[in-house]
Amino acid sequence: MAYTNSPLITYTKLSPNNSGQRKYPITRISIHCVVGQLSVETLGDVFTSKKRQVSSNYGIGYDGKIAMYVPESNRSWCTSNSDNDNRAITIEVASDTTSPYAVKDVAYKSLLDLVADICKRNGKTKVVWIADKTKALAYTPAANEMVLTVHRWFANKSCPGDYLYSRHAAIAAEVTKRLGGSDSKSSGSSTFTPYLVKVTAAVLNVRKGPGTGYAIQTQVRKNEVFTIVSEEKGWGKLKSGAGWIRLSYTAKKK
């Protein structure tokens, strides 16, 4: 899958503090607390300082503004762990300077939007939070799953702070809901609720099965609306029976 960047960013300041192209596909998101109610501009000054040797892919200011410092294609220097940084999109969120390092409501809202956007563009329909370091790091995510990891697992830090850490289960559930997935591991297909999507790509292939390995049956066009009756690996089955479409090229109708 080609790397893309979030359309939600309103500020970009590229940091030299990165390792170039990441070694592994994106399967994780690591949320951090800044320990300061900073703006995205000030955070950008910190992350572009070669002396500081730190960066993140994205930052969220105290006012909810979203910035990019390292493109998603590249490994940021954020979680003190090469293996994690090579797999994760890292997000720094402006926070208080003392425990529990609370973040403003508007910043938290932006965080949910950004996590959902990252998942969607990277073909993920489910966010997985396993609050046990050993189990989480040993977990092999399915193709449609994004795993949350935290800095405190890799360094002697409280990051992302108890305010955000205690919300990780809620973040996973809320974003999974927005992505149209299920937050229950044992959910069966019988519980699937059909929903409408609008095509956002100019032209989108309809394939016989959920993957690019299946034959193209037909094509659909931008702004056409379809009912999805089943999901698999980021693909949605059309109610018409015409086949499957990639859900990352559609927008869910509300």
**Positions that interact with Zn ion (CB under 5 A):** 32, 151, 159
Q: Characterize 176-200 residue by residue with b for buried, 16 or more Cβ atoms within 10 angstroms of its Cβ, and e for exposed.
A: bebbbbbbeeeeeeeeeeeeebebe
Q: How far apart are CA 105 and CA 174, in angstroms?
A: 15
The minimum distance between CB 160 and Zn ion, in angstroms, equals 6
Q: Which is nearer to Zn ion, 89 or 159 (CB)?
A: 159
Joined tokens for residue 31? 């949320």
Q: How far apart are CA 116 and CA 225, in angstroms?
A: 21
Q: Facing residues of 149 across strands?
A: 30
The minimum distance between CB 140 and Zn ion, in angstroms, equals 24
The minimum distance between CB 152 and Zn ion, in angstroms, equals 8
Q: Which is nearer to Zn ion, 115 or 228 (CB)?
A: 115
Q: Which is nearer to Zn ion, 94 or 199 (CB)?
A: 94
The minimum distance between CB 151 and Zn ion, in angstroms, equals 3
The minimum distance between CB 99 and Zn ion, in angstroms, equals 14
Q: Which is nearer to Zn ion, 42 or 230 (CB)?
A: 42
Q: How far apart are CA 207 and CA 73, in angstroms?
A: 28
3-state secondary structure of 167: coil
Q: What is the dihedral of CA 111, 127, 44, 98, to 10 degrees?
A: 70
Q: Which is nearer to Zn ion, 124 or 151 (CB)?
A: 151
Peptide bond into 160 cis (omega under 30): yes
Q: Which is nearer to Zn ion, 94 or 206 (CB)?
A: 94
The minimum distance between CB 59 and Zn ion, in angstroms, equals 12
